[in-house]
């Protein structure tokens, strides 16, 4: 393509073929990068790379040493070589060519008619160019040269944590508009179920392949039950509801059995049966993946409306706490892990 002088730059934010909020949070990180680096964002949740570092010079050494200084390919923009035998359509796509972002959110994309007038770079969802090498300048993802934890998970100072959540929330509010039909369903469910209460407790139980996250030990359902009871006791007699979001039915049933049924809320969604299932629901075959994606988004939005959010180091829990930076966040793997 002929490069025209002074043409605007576009960053195409692609996805990897994995879970909804893993990709969502990395998209938010890339949107922030676009603001800081004068790029127009084009979110395209389509066919993405499975291994983001394949063919990236120095990436293997960077991963071994946990230091990005060894990486020679600074921006990790997609090249033809890096696409060879290394892509898969996004999980929720009905058709491989679909932009799955547009299933659930209003489009963030450039005008197709003007596309030829732009200089376009394609960034892997897990890589944000310059930020990759400035270890002190991390917005959301702590370490970008490989898949690593969110910055959120390592912040200990409460005020810094609150400020961080507010900053991420600003980017979400600027760019992310959930489709009206989905918002309408969430609002209707919320108005029907969250009635006559003084506070709400949101619980996210991520079982299956994420029962634990290194270096924490595996949690049991009793940890969730005990934390819920502590919050109820602290609020001493106030009217409450418990909203339970989970990837498995066993967790919901076990938690619900410990409390009054009229105080339990859950959304009808596609789930695995067992907390200990080895296969996560979003990688399961034989389900309506597009529908599951919508249900997952709705459940996260409902969780974000709660006054308390109980969860673990999960992207789902993180997304909810970014959508509502005022909610009190309780990480059980921090309290009960090693």
Could you give the CA distance from residue 64 to residue 78 in angstroms, rounded to a whole number? 23
Domain shared by 122 and 239, yes or no: no
Domain shared by 76 and 202, yes or no: no
Residues 6+ apart with CB under 8 A from 186: 178, 298, 301, 302
Could you give the CA distance from residue 20 to residue 280 in angstroms, rounded to a whole number? 12
Tell me which of 305 and 41 has the higher pLDDT: 305
Average pLDDT rounded to a whole number, residues 3-15: 62
DSSP state of 139: S
Domain shared by 79 and 203, yes or no: no
Total tally of structural domains belonging to the chain? 2
Q: Is residue 164 part of a domain?
A: no
Q: What residue numbers bound the domain in which 324 lies?
A: 180-336
Q: Is residue 172 part of a domain?
A: no
Could you give the CA distance from residue 321 to residue 165 in angstroms, rounded to a whole number? 7
What is the model's pLDDT at position 148? 57
Token pair recorded at residue 27:
């998209």
The domain spanning residue 278 has which CATH number?
Answer: 3.40.50.11350
What confidence category does residue 3 fall into, taking pLDDT thresholds of 50, 70 and 90? very low
Q: Is residue 59 part of a domain?
A: yes
Q: Is residue 16 part of a domain?
A: yes
Domain shared by 146 and 266, yes or no: no
Domain shared by 126 and 44, yes or no: yes
Domain shared by 258 and 129, yes or no: no
3-class SS string, 147-164 = CCCEHHHHCCCHHHHHHH
Domain shared by 237 and 288, yes or no: yes
Predicted TM-score (pTM) of this structure: 0.87
What is the model's pLDDT at position 175? 95
What is the model's pLDDT at position 55? 73
Q: Is residue 44 part of a domain?
A: yes
Q: Is residue 173 part of a domain?
A: no
98-102, 144-148, 171-175, 311-315: which has the highest mean pLDDT? 171-175
What is the model's pLDDT at position 227? 96
Domain shared by 143 and 252, yes or no: no
What is the model's pLDDT at position 284? 67
* Mean per-residue pLDDT of the chain: 81
Domain shared by 207 and 128, yes or no: no
pLDDT in tens, 85-133: 667 777 788 887 888 999 999 998 766 555 556 655 555 544 544 445 6
């Amino acid at each position: 393509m002929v490069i025209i002088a002074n043409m605007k730059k576009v960053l195409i934010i692609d996805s990897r073929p994995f879970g909804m909020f893993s990709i969502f949070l990395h998209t938010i990180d890339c949107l922030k990068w676009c603001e800081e680096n004068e790029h127009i964002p084009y979110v395209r949740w389509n066919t993405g790379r499975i291994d983001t570092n394949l063919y990236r010079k120095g990436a293997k050494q960077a991963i071994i040493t946990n230091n990005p200084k060894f990486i020679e390919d600074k921006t990790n923009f997609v090249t033809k070589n890096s696409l060879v035998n290394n892509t898969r359509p996004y999980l929720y796509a009905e058709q491989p060519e679909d932009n799955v972002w547009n299933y659930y959110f209003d489009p963030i994309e450039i005008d197709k008619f003007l596309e030829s007038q732009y200089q376009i770079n394609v960034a892997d969802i897990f890589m944000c160019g310059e930020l990759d090498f400035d270890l002190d300048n991390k917005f959301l993802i702590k370490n970008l040269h490989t898949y690593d934890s969110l910055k959120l998970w390592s912040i200990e100072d409460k005020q810094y944590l609150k400020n961080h959540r507010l900053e991420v929330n600003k980017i979400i509010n600027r760019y992310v508009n959930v489709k009206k039909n989905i918002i309408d369903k969430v609002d209707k469910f919320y108005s029907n179920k969250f009635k006559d209460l003084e506070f709400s407790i949101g619980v996210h139980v991520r079982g299956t392949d994420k029962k634990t996250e290194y270096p924490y030990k595996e949690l049991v359902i009793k940890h969730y039950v005990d934390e819920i009871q502590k919050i109820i006791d602290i609020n001493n007699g106030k009217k409450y509801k418990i909203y339970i979001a989970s990837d498995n039915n066993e967790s919901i049933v076990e938690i619900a059995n410990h409390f009054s049924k009229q105080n339990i809320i859950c959304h009808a969604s596609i789930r695995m049966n067992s907390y200990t299932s080895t296969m996560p629901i979003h990688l399961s075959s034989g389900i309506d993946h597009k529908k599951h994606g919508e249900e997952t988004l709705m459940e996260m939005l409902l969780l974000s409306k709660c006054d308390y959010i109980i969860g673990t180091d999960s992207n789902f829990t993180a997304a909810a706490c970014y959508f509502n930076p005022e909610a009190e966040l309780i990480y059980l793997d921090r309290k009960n892990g090693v």
